[in-house]
Structure 1
Amino acid sequence: MRLKGAIHDKKLCIAFALLISLGYTQEAKLTQVYFDENLTNLQCVKIFVNLVRSSDFDFKAWRGDRSIEWLKDHISFEFDTWDNDKILVRLFFDWQDSTNDEFQGTGTIGFVKYDRQTQKLQDANLETSLRFDTNLTKQLESCE
Protein backbone atom coordinates (compact mmCIF):
# COMPACT_ATOMS: atom_id res chain seq x y z
CA MET A 1 0.00 0.00 0.00
CA ARG A 2 2.90 2.34 0.74
CA LEU A 3 4.24 1.81 -2.80
CA LYS A 4 0.94 2.87 -4.37
CA GLY A 5 0.91 6.05 -2.25
CA ALA A 6 4.53 6.77 -3.15
CA ILE A 7 3.77 6.35 -6.86
CA HIS A 8 0.78 8.69 -6.54
CA ASP A 9 2.86 11.29 -4.65
CA LYS A 10 5.63 11.06 -7.24
CA LYS A 11 3.11 11.51 -10.07
CA LEU A 12 1.63 14.57 -8.37
CA CYS A 13 5.09 16.10 -7.90
CA ILE A 14 5.96 15.48 -11.55
CA ALA A 15 2.65 16.96 -12.71
CA PHE A 16 3.10 20.01 -10.49
CA ALA A 17 6.68 20.58 -11.68
CA LEU A 18 5.60 20.15 -15.30
CA LEU A 19 2.78 22.64 -14.95
CA ILE A 20 4.93 25.17 -13.10
CA SER A 21 7.90 24.96 -15.44
CA LEU A 22 5.92 25.00 -18.66
CA GLY A 23 2.73 26.78 -17.67
CA TYR A 24 3.99 30.35 -17.65
CA THR A 25 5.32 30.65 -21.17
CA GLN A 26 3.89 27.64 -22.94
CA GLU A 27 0.44 26.32 -23.69
CA ALA A 28 -0.62 22.77 -24.50
CA LYS A 29 -1.75 22.34 -28.10
CA LEU A 30 -5.14 20.85 -28.85
CA THR A 31 -5.09 17.08 -29.27
CA GLN A 32 -2.66 15.82 -31.88
CA VAL A 33 -2.66 12.21 -33.08
CA TYR A 34 0.45 10.49 -34.40
CA PHE A 35 0.12 7.09 -36.05
CA ASP A 36 1.51 5.08 -38.93
CA GLU A 37 -1.10 4.88 -41.70
CA ASN A 38 0.22 1.41 -42.56
CA LEU A 39 -1.04 0.14 -39.19
CA THR A 40 -4.66 1.26 -39.33
CA ASN A 41 -6.96 4.00 -40.62
CA LEU A 42 -7.93 7.36 -39.15
CA GLN A 43 -11.50 6.29 -38.34
CA CYS A 44 -10.22 3.46 -36.12
CA VAL A 45 -7.76 5.83 -34.45
CA LYS A 46 -10.55 8.32 -33.67
CA ILE A 47 -12.65 5.57 -32.10
CA PHE A 48 -9.72 4.48 -29.94
CA VAL A 49 -9.00 8.06 -28.85
CA ASN A 50 -12.64 8.38 -27.76
CA LEU A 51 -12.40 5.03 -25.97
CA VAL A 52 -9.41 6.29 -23.94
CA ARG A 53 -11.12 9.63 -23.25
CA SER A 54 -14.17 7.75 -21.93
CA SER A 55 -12.01 5.68 -19.59
CA ASP A 56 -11.26 6.17 -15.92
CA PHE A 57 -7.56 6.82 -16.61
CA ASP A 58 -6.27 9.13 -13.85
CA PHE A 59 -6.69 12.35 -15.85
CA LYS A 60 -7.36 14.31 -12.63
CA ALA A 61 -3.74 13.94 -11.53
CA TRP A 62 -2.60 15.92 -14.59
CA ARG A 63 -5.16 18.70 -14.88
CA GLY A 64 -3.72 21.24 -12.45
CA ASP A 65 -6.25 24.06 -12.25
CA ARG A 66 -7.89 23.08 -15.54
CA SER A 67 -11.05 21.08 -16.08
CA ILE A 68 -11.00 17.42 -17.07
CA GLU A 69 -12.64 18.42 -20.37
CA TRP A 70 -9.79 20.87 -21.09
CA LEU A 71 -7.26 18.17 -20.30
CA LYS A 72 -8.91 15.62 -22.57
CA ASP A 73 -9.03 18.21 -25.38
CA HIS A 74 -5.27 18.81 -25.03
CA ILE A 75 -3.88 15.31 -24.55
CA SER A 76 -2.09 14.04 -27.61
CA PHE A 77 -1.81 10.40 -28.65
CA GLU A 78 1.19 8.64 -30.18
CA PHE A 79 0.36 5.14 -31.41
CA ASP A 80 3.33 2.86 -30.89
CA THR A 81 1.71 -0.50 -31.65
CA TRP A 82 -1.47 -1.47 -33.49
CA ASP A 83 -1.63 -5.13 -34.36
CA ASN A 84 -3.96 -8.13 -34.03
CA ASP A 85 -3.09 -8.56 -30.35
CA LYS A 86 -2.67 -5.12 -28.84
CA ILE A 87 -2.71 -1.38 -29.18
CA LEU A 88 -0.10 0.62 -27.23
CA VAL A 89 -0.38 4.41 -27.04
CA ARG A 90 1.58 7.17 -25.32
CA LEU A 91 -0.53 9.99 -23.82
CA PHE A 92 1.25 13.35 -23.65
CA PHE A 93 1.03 17.10 -23.97
CA ASP A 94 2.46 18.94 -26.98
CA TRP A 95 3.83 22.18 -25.53
CA GLN A 96 4.20 25.32 -27.60
CA ASP A 97 5.34 28.82 -26.67
CA SER A 98 2.36 31.12 -27.17
CA THR A 99 4.64 33.74 -28.77
CA ASN A 100 6.36 31.30 -31.12
CA ASP A 101 4.97 28.73 -33.57
CA GLU A 102 7.92 26.37 -33.21
CA PHE A 103 7.53 23.03 -31.48
CA GLN A 104 8.65 23.31 -27.86
CA GLY A 105 8.51 19.77 -26.45
CA THR A 106 6.28 17.16 -24.90
CA GLY A 107 5.24 16.02 -21.45
CA THR A 108 4.31 12.35 -21.18
CA ILE A 109 1.52 11.53 -18.76
CA GLY A 110 1.39 7.79 -19.34
CA PHE A 111 0.77 4.87 -21.62
CA VAL A 112 -2.37 2.86 -22.24
CA LYS A 113 -2.49 -0.68 -23.57
CA TYR A 114 -5.51 -2.34 -25.12
CA ASP A 115 -5.69 -6.12 -25.47
CA ARG A 116 -7.69 -6.72 -28.62
CA GLN A 117 -8.44 -10.35 -27.80
CA THR A 118 -9.87 -9.71 -24.32
CA GLN A 119 -11.02 -6.13 -25.05
CA LYS A 120 -9.32 -4.87 -21.87
CA LEU A 121 -7.81 -1.40 -21.50
CA GLN A 122 -5.02 -0.89 -19.04
CA ASP A 123 -2.84 1.90 -17.66
CA ALA A 124 0.42 0.39 -18.91
CA ASN A 125 2.56 2.17 -16.31
CA LEU A 126 0.59 1.05 -13.25
CA GLU A 127 -0.66 -2.16 -14.89
CA THR A 128 -4.18 -1.44 -13.69
CA SER A 129 -7.37 -2.18 -15.61
CA LEU A 130 -9.43 0.78 -16.80
CA ARG A 131 -13.18 1.02 -17.30
CA PHE A 132 -14.45 2.63 -20.51
CA ASP A 133 -17.48 2.93 -22.79
CA THR A 134 -17.85 -0.62 -24.14
CA ASN A 135 -19.98 0.59 -27.07
CA LEU A 136 -16.74 1.97 -28.48
CA THR A 137 -15.17 -1.50 -28.32
CA LYS A 138 -17.80 -2.79 -30.72
CA GLN A 139 -17.16 0.13 -33.07
CA LEU A 140 -13.41 -0.37 -32.83
CA GLU A 141 -13.55 -4.04 -33.74
CA SER A 142 -15.86 -3.45 -36.71
CA CYS A 143 -14.11 -0.42 -38.18
CA GLU A 144 -11.16 -2.28 -39.72
Structure 2
Amino acid sequence: MRLKGVIHDKKLCIAFALLISLGYTQEAKLTQVYFDENLTNFQCVKIFVNLVRSSYFDFESWRGDRSIEWPKDHISFEFDTWDKHTILARLFFDWQDSSNDEFQGTGTIGFVKYDRQTQKLQDANLETLLHFDKSPAKKLESCE
Protein backbone atom coordinates (compact mmCIF):
# COMPACT_ATOMS: atom_id res chain seq x y z
CA MET A 1 0.00 0.00 0.00
CA ARG A 2 2.85 2.36 0.82
CA LEU A 3 4.47 1.76 -2.59
CA LYS A 4 1.31 2.99 -4.30
CA GLY A 5 1.48 6.19 -2.23
CA VAL A 6 5.15 6.71 -3.12
CA ILE A 7 4.40 6.26 -6.82
CA HIS A 8 1.47 8.68 -6.57
CA ASP A 9 3.61 11.23 -4.68
CA LYS A 10 6.38 10.90 -7.26
CA LYS A 11 3.87 11.36 -10.08
CA LEU A 12 2.49 14.49 -8.42
CA CYS A 13 6.00 15.90 -7.95
CA ILE A 14 6.86 15.28 -11.60
CA ALA A 15 3.57 16.80 -12.76
CA PHE A 16 4.05 19.82 -10.50
CA ALA A 17 7.64 20.35 -11.69
CA LEU A 18 6.54 20.05 -15.32
CA LEU A 19 3.73 22.53 -14.89
CA ILE A 20 5.91 25.00 -13.00
CA SER A 21 8.82 24.82 -15.43
CA LEU A 22 6.66 25.09 -18.52
CA GLY A 23 3.92 27.24 -17.09
CA TYR A 24 5.91 30.46 -16.98
CA THR A 25 6.88 30.56 -20.64
CA GLN A 26 4.60 28.10 -22.32
CA GLU A 27 0.99 27.10 -22.31
CA ALA A 28 -0.86 24.03 -23.54
CA LYS A 29 -2.77 24.31 -26.79
CA LEU A 30 -6.43 23.40 -26.87
CA THR A 31 -7.11 19.76 -27.72
CA GLN A 32 -5.37 18.54 -30.86
CA VAL A 33 -6.02 15.14 -32.43
CA TYR A 34 -3.47 13.18 -34.43
CA PHE A 35 -4.52 10.06 -36.29
CA ASP A 36 -3.98 8.28 -39.56
CA GLU A 37 -7.04 8.89 -41.71
CA ASN A 38 -6.84 5.25 -42.78
CA LEU A 39 -7.62 4.19 -39.22
CA THR A 40 -11.03 5.80 -38.87
CA ASN A 41 -13.04 8.95 -39.54
CA PHE A 42 -12.95 12.17 -37.56
CA GLN A 43 -16.51 11.81 -36.22
CA CYS A 44 -15.53 8.52 -34.56
CA VAL A 45 -12.41 10.13 -33.13
CA LYS A 46 -14.53 12.93 -31.61
CA ILE A 47 -16.80 10.35 -29.99
CA PHE A 48 -13.80 8.58 -28.47
CA VAL A 49 -12.30 11.86 -27.22
CA ASN A 50 -15.60 12.62 -25.44
CA LEU A 51 -15.64 9.11 -23.98
CA VAL A 52 -12.15 9.61 -22.51
CA ARG A 53 -13.00 13.09 -21.24
CA SER A 54 -16.00 11.63 -19.41
CA SER A 55 -13.84 8.95 -17.78
CA TYR A 56 -12.18 8.83 -14.40
CA PHE A 57 -8.71 9.12 -15.95
CA ASP A 58 -6.47 10.99 -13.50
CA PHE A 59 -6.95 14.44 -15.06
CA GLU A 60 -7.04 15.91 -11.55
CA SER A 61 -3.29 15.59 -10.99
CA TRP A 62 -2.61 17.55 -14.21
CA ARG A 63 -4.79 20.58 -13.55
CA GLY A 64 -2.45 22.55 -11.30
CA ASP A 65 -4.42 25.45 -9.82
CA ARG A 66 -7.00 25.38 -12.63
CA SER A 67 -10.40 23.69 -12.84
CA ILE A 68 -10.63 20.03 -13.80
CA GLU A 69 -11.98 21.15 -17.18
CA TRP A 70 -8.64 22.77 -18.05
CA PRO A 71 -6.73 19.51 -18.67
CA LYS A 72 -9.77 18.02 -20.41
CA ASP A 73 -9.89 21.00 -22.79
CA HIS A 74 -6.12 21.02 -23.40
CA ILE A 75 -5.28 17.33 -23.57
CA SER A 76 -4.29 16.11 -27.02
CA PHE A 77 -4.68 12.63 -28.46
CA GLU A 78 -2.40 10.63 -30.72
CA PHE A 79 -3.93 7.39 -31.94
CA ASP A 80 -1.64 4.41 -32.25
CA THR A 81 -4.24 1.69 -32.87
CA TRP A 82 -7.81 1.79 -34.09
CA ASP A 83 -9.18 -1.51 -35.26
CA LYS A 84 -12.26 -3.69 -34.71
CA HIS A 85 -10.97 -4.79 -31.31
CA THR A 86 -8.83 -2.06 -29.76
CA ILE A 87 -8.31 1.68 -29.63
CA LEU A 88 -5.00 2.81 -28.14
CA ALA A 89 -4.21 6.50 -27.72
CA ARG A 90 -1.51 8.61 -26.11
CA LEU A 91 -2.75 11.56 -24.03
CA PHE A 92 -0.44 14.55 -23.90
CA PHE A 93 -0.12 18.32 -23.80
CA ASP A 94 1.12 20.28 -26.83
CA TRP A 95 3.18 23.07 -25.38
CA GLN A 96 3.83 26.35 -27.15
CA ASP A 97 5.32 29.67 -26.19
CA SER A 98 2.48 32.15 -25.90
CA SER A 99 4.50 34.73 -27.86
CA ASN A 100 5.49 32.27 -30.59
CA ASP A 101 3.34 29.96 -32.73
CA GLU A 102 6.14 27.46 -33.28
CA PHE A 103 5.83 23.98 -31.84
CA GLN A 104 7.59 23.83 -28.47
CA GLY A 105 7.22 20.21 -27.34
CA THR A 106 4.91 17.73 -25.69
CA GLY A 107 4.30 16.32 -22.26
CA THR A 108 2.81 12.83 -22.21
CA ILE A 109 0.44 12.14 -19.34
CA GLY A 110 -0.47 8.58 -20.22
CA PHE A 111 -2.09 6.09 -22.54
CA VAL A 112 -5.64 4.78 -22.69
CA LYS A 113 -6.74 1.48 -24.17
CA TYR A 114 -10.33 0.74 -25.12
CA ASP A 115 -11.63 -2.75 -25.80
CA ARG A 116 -14.38 -2.22 -28.35
CA GLN A 117 -16.01 -5.60 -27.82
CA THR A 118 -16.32 -5.38 -24.03
CA GLN A 119 -16.56 -1.56 -23.93
CA LYS A 120 -13.86 -1.38 -21.27
CA LEU A 121 -11.51 1.56 -21.00
CA GLN A 122 -8.29 1.34 -19.05
CA ASP A 123 -5.35 3.47 -18.12
CA ALA A 124 -2.81 1.50 -20.15
CA ASN A 125 0.12 2.56 -17.92
CA LEU A 126 -1.46 1.52 -14.63
CA GLU A 127 -3.58 -1.23 -16.20
CA THR A 128 -6.61 -0.06 -14.23
CA LEU A 129 -10.16 0.06 -15.52
CA LEU A 130 -11.70 3.50 -15.89
CA HIS A 131 -15.39 4.25 -15.45
CA PHE A 132 -16.89 6.51 -18.10
CA ASP A 133 -20.16 7.79 -19.54
CA LYS A 134 -21.67 4.89 -21.53
CA SER A 135 -23.54 7.03 -24.08
CA PRO A 136 -20.42 7.69 -26.24
CA ALA A 137 -19.67 3.94 -26.13
CA LYS A 138 -23.03 3.24 -27.78
CA LYS A 139 -22.22 5.71 -30.56
CA LEU A 140 -18.75 4.20 -30.94
CA GLU A 141 -20.23 0.76 -31.70
CA SER A 142 -21.13 1.81 -35.24
CA CYS A 143 -17.76 3.44 -35.98
CA GLU A 144 -15.34 1.70 -38.31
In which range does the TM-score fall when normalised by the shorter chain?
over 0.9
**Equivalent-residue separation in structure 2 for 1:10 and 1:111 (angstroms):** 18
- What is aligned with 1:100? 100
- C-alpha distance in 2, partners of 1:85/1:7? 31
Displacement of 1:117 after TM fit?
A: 1.5
* Structure 2 stretches lacking a partner, 5+ long: none
Query: Is residue 51 from structure 1 mapped to residue 69 from structure 2 by the alignment?
Result: no
Distance in 1 of aligned mates of 2:128 and 2:5: 15
- Give the 3-state SS of the residue equivalent to 1:142 in structure 2: coil
Which residue of the partner structure matches residue 75 of structure 1?
75
Bigger shift: residues 4-13 or 38-47: 4-13
Question: What corresponds to 2:118 in structure 1?
Answer: 118
Query: Partners in 2 of 1:99 and 1:51 — Cα distance?
Result: 33
4+ runs of 1 displaced by more than 3 Å?
Answer: none
Equivalent residue for 1:40?
A: 40
Amino acid at match of 2:67: S
Q: Does 1:14 align with 2:14?
A: yes
Aligned to 2:141, the other structure's residue is in SS state helix
Instruction: Count residues with an aligned counterpart.
Output: 144
Q: Residues 26-48 of structure 1, C-alpha deviation per residue, up to 9 Å, x if partnerless?
A: 01000000000000000000000
Give secondary structure in 2 for the equivalent of 1:3.
Answer: helix
The 2-side partners of 1:8 and 1:58 are apart by 11
Name the SS for the 1:92 alignment partner.
strand
Question: Could you list the runs of 5+ residues in structure 1 that have no partner in the other structure?
Answer: none
Measured on the aligned residues, the alpha-carbon RMSD in Å equals 0.8
CA shift digits 1:80-115 (9 cap, x unpaired) = 111111111110000000111100000011110001
Q: Which residue identity does 1:78 align to in structure 2?
A: E
Separation in 2 of the partners of 1:52 and 1:90? Answer: 11
Q: How many angstroms does 1:3 deviate by?
A: 2.1
